[in-house]
Structure 1
Amino acid sequence: MIEISLCMIVKNEEETLGRCLESMEGLVDEIVIVDTGSSDRTREVAGRYTEKLYHYVWRDDFSAARNFAFDKAGKAYCMWLDADDVMSLAGREEFQNMKRELTDSADMVLLPYHTGFDEMGRPSITYYRERIMRNAAGFRFQGRVHEAVALSGSVVKGTAVIEHRKERKGDSFRNLRIYQDMEKRNEEFLPRDLYYYGRELVSHRLYEKGRQVLQAFLRDREGWKENKIDAARQLAVCCYGLGQEEEALLALLQSFVYDMPRGEICCDLGRHFLDRGRYREAVFWYEQALGLKPERDSGAFIQEECYDFLPAISLCVCYDRLGEWDKAETYNSLAGSFRPDSPCYLQNLEYFKKLWRP
């Protein structure tokens, strides 16, 4: 059985660190905690689980801190988590099975990551992350923000789900400040940096600057395909925010340059036409979304509802406005099969009971 060092960087995580480490109890063989300047009881909590507790002077560089943590690992494989991550209950057995079955020929293990949840606690945003790496292979994180390790060597996909369960809001401007500092210092932006800088700008409604950065990323031939597809969506948000509706539509359509349509893009296109009262065009795109399957092996961010509930409930709205109420009711029933507790679905049930039909 392989041995794994869990390597974490933390700061002021007394509320969640214990929960994270409890969820990994009995799964890893060593715990390395690197504190980057906590002022709360984080170090005390960490000390209950490991003696390998280190201090690291924070330099606005997540990769540097994670690489420092990996350098302190003593086992054959290194694994990383954030303090507000937890191993799912179902994932614990799958993780143990993976440890027993994995051979030392594997260089990297990807695990599913659930980072968003709906009102019933079901995953709404899912994707794979590089999670476990062979220590001797010399893997290094890159990027001051949204750090990652480039996939290489023998890559294995596991099934043990890691859940991101944030308990409190962090500094929402931290990542944006780091990217802006990089720009002021004329530091090199890799394609991944441009993509995530663009996303940060969009999230802070800095649409003109976001448009410029995302367009620069889309012009770069080295950018990852899945990031380019999402960047087209983010660029559309910028264009809408700037009142450039035609340019927004063109940005969404540009995503088709990179690969087959995704459910997320089709729903965005459906919403574009729905909002403008062009219901037939909206129906076309929402039906495309319903007929697609998420590309789970791609590593892309997947919005689960874009492949079932969202297009179904949106088709209900479209057909209702077209006066085709039988179809509208059929799609509402389909939406309910995906999310029977949805307030939209339940309200529609009452609406159709009272609806007069010629």
Structure 2
Amino acid sequence: MAPRRVAVIGAGASGLCALKCCLDEGLEPTCFERSKDIGGLWRFEEHPEDGRASIYRSVIINTSKEMMCFSDFPIPEDFPNYMHNSKIMEYFRMYAQHFDLLRHIRFRTSVCRVSKRPDFASSGQWEVVTESEGKQEAAIFDAVLVCSGHHTNAHLPLSSFPGLEKFEGCYLHSRDYKSPQPFFGKRVVVVGIGNSGIDIAVELSHTAKQVFLSTRRGSWVLYRVADNGYPFDFSYLSRFMQLIHNLVPTSILNFFMEWKLNARFDHTLYGLKPKHGVLDQHPTVNDDLPNRIISGRVRVKPNIQEFTETSAIFEDANVRRFPGAVVWATFLSLIWVYLCDTISQCDKGWPGCRRV
């Protein structure tokens, strides 16, 4: 019997793993990658193609190498615990070369449509239409793995901020932010307090005249370096800690973790304390933010109420005049444009897949 054919969409971290696992199981995978190289989100491009995930030049991963490495291919010992995006790309290339994955990848090939075949009920097969060099091609596969990620489509919540159409400064999404140089000497408002928002605010604070970090609800800020200098996740994501997590109510764990984080810096005093518990939402990680706040280089502000031609008015009625730029570090839309309408998608993720 011929091996079952699998289409893998995307050659980022999950796509490479999917390829390798398919080969391990005796399947026949073909990976379609719309760009010229592997790496997906982690490959920095000054001018990325439309529809591709994008990062800024200084991005360092928030997960230590001990916790993020592929189980069958350890990260080299001489690599840093928290890797710059260039080191992550180096690791991915080593992984792809070691398992001979590149020959299964069709670069510069976009997936146009994925649909069930008319006889899907009996065959379980899919039709995948791709395009390369202006030519479309259809192929039949027994399975499709969507590995194109969810950091692709920038969402600018412009309608939520009255007066923005009159604002004379510039604005952009964090997806389009690459480095702090264009903002030298300017007042900048960063909207959003996720990992990208805090990273960008901290980086801009070294070159901008003033940075305002606008947040609707605050955030618990974790740190990479934990007690005794060990990586935070390596210290707190052990089997023992998992046992504690299973035995102790979440409310008590939240209390302990919040006490631990506030011992480093008081989140209420710094204007960051949210209403949710630290374990109730995705964590934000940054080691430098408290230093930038206490030195006045980053000022934490509530949500923006409205814009005028020359100012941003925050919900605390504080007016900041002449912000030179606004960076929207807001969420990205979860959209797979190539999936046929007959394949159900939902706003909060795929049923049973924990928002993946």
* Shorter-normalised TM range: under 0.3
Higher helix share: 1
Higher strand share: 2
